[in-house]
Every structure is written in structure tokens, then in C-alpha cells.
Amino acid sequence: MTKFLENLLSQTATWLVGALIAILTVFSTRIIEAVKFQINRADQRTKQYEEIAAQVSHHIFAAEVIAEFIEHDWTTKATMTDLLKDYNDSIRELRKKEFVYCAWIQKFWGKDQKNQFNSFMESVRKFDTTIHSLNDEFEAVNITASKPKVDKKRGEEALNVMNPALKEMRQQGNALLTAMDTSPGILRCCR
């Protein structure tokens, strides 16, 4: 009977060691995959953060320059043609990638950052609507050349809506980038 118990214990120990090794192998693969995913995720977040931050910054800058030129009545064809093209390029690029950026943020950051992105895009659309209120003036200056400049009164009326929209867009852009920032200190200049 003692021999039988020794054999049983030996066999059980062998099976337990084998089972433990199998379990560790399965879990080690999962652990390794989880570590690889987190490293890849961190790399992707950095790359995507830089792209989104550059696009947000470019668009806000283009909007600020347009507002500044309207405010100072620098609205001749010579000054406005390139500015409008730059603004239109930035809004087109931002809107074209809106759902890509939204998907990245959802996947690599989370719901709060996605909501912040949606708030930023809403402020972008609000500002863009204000710019569109001057399309007939821009057309008269840049396309038909029926006016030398944007009508100063129309420009001032647009600025009354444009400046608060611009301020909100800047705040929302900063809040978005701050919410996405996972390394402290990057956005200290904007806070």
C-alpha cells in the first residue's frame, strides 16, 4: 500500500507540474501579448497625438489669422487670397479626418477624450459658420473683384460672433490636447 501511495503521489506531482507548466505557458503568452499591445498602443498614441495636435494647432492659427485680418481691415484680394486658401485647406483636412481622429481617440484614449474632441469639433463648426457668413464679401473681393475690400461694417458684425467662437475653439482645442496628454509638462505653454 505504501508503494501504491508513493506511486500515486509521484504521478500526481508529475501531472501537477505538467499542468502548472501548461497554465504558465498559456498565461505567459497572454501576458506577452498584453505587454506587446500596451507598447504598440503607447507608440500609436504618441504618433496620433502629434498628428491631431498639429492639425488642431494649424486650424486654430488659420482661423486666428483670418479674424485678425478682418479686424484690421486688411481684406484686399492680395492679402485674403492666400489666407482663405490656408483656412479652407485646414478646415477641409480637419473635417476630412474627423471620424478617423474620433476613432483613434475612442480606441486609444477613451470616452471622456472623445467627448472633448466632439466639443472641439462643434466649436470648429460654429466658427466656420461665422466665416461662411462673409462668403459673399470674399467672393466680391477675390472672384468678381467688384469690391476692393470686405465691407468694414459686415466684417465688424461678423467679428462680434467670430471672436467669441474663436475664443471657444481655442479653449476647446486646448482642453482636448490637455485631456489627451498622458505625459505631464507637454502642454505647459498652452495652459
Is pLDDT at 186 greater than 60 in this prediction?
no
Is 1 part of a structural domain of the chain?
no
10 Å Cβ neighbour count for 121? 18
Distance from C-alpha of 121 to C-alpha of 114, rounded to nearest angstrom: 11
* Mean pLDDT score, 9-38: 74
Residue 143 is classified by DSSP as T
SS3 150: coil
Whether 168 is covered by a domain: the verdict is yes
**103-144 confidence digits (pLDDT tens):** 999 988 999 999 999 999 999 999 999 999 999 999 999 999
User: In the structure grid, which three cell numbers stand for residue 88, read together?
Assistant: 479652407
Inform me whether the pLDDT recorded for 36 exceeds 80.
no
The pTM is what? 0.76
Q: DSSP secondary structure string, 97-123? A: THHHHHHHHHHHT-HHHHHHHHHHHHH
- For residue 64, the domain's CATH number is 1.20.120.230
* DSSP secondary structure code for residue 181 in this structure: -
Give domain status of residue 32, yes or no.
no
Total residues belonging to the chain: 191
Eight-class DSSP state of 144: S
Query: Does residue 25 sit within a domain?
Result: no
Range of the domain at 160: 44-180
Q: Which pLDDT belongs to residue 191? A: 40
> Is 189 a domain residue?
no
Q: What is the C-alpha to C-alpha distance for residues 106 and 9, in angstroms, rounded to an integer?
A: 53
47-98 per-position pLDDT tens digit: 899 999 999 999 999 999 999 999 999 999 999 999 999 999 999 999 999 9
Q: Report the domain count for the chain.
A: 1
> Is position 24 within any domain?
no
Tell me the per-residue pLDDT of 143-173, one tens digit each, with 9 for 90 and over: 999 999 999 999 999 999 999 999 999 999 9
Residue 9 lies in a domain: no
How far from the centroid of its chain's Cα atoms is residue 186's Cα?
A: 15
φ and ψ at 149, to 5 degrees?
A: -145, 165
16 within domain boundaries:
no
- At 1 the three-state DSSP class reads coil
Cell of 115: 467627448
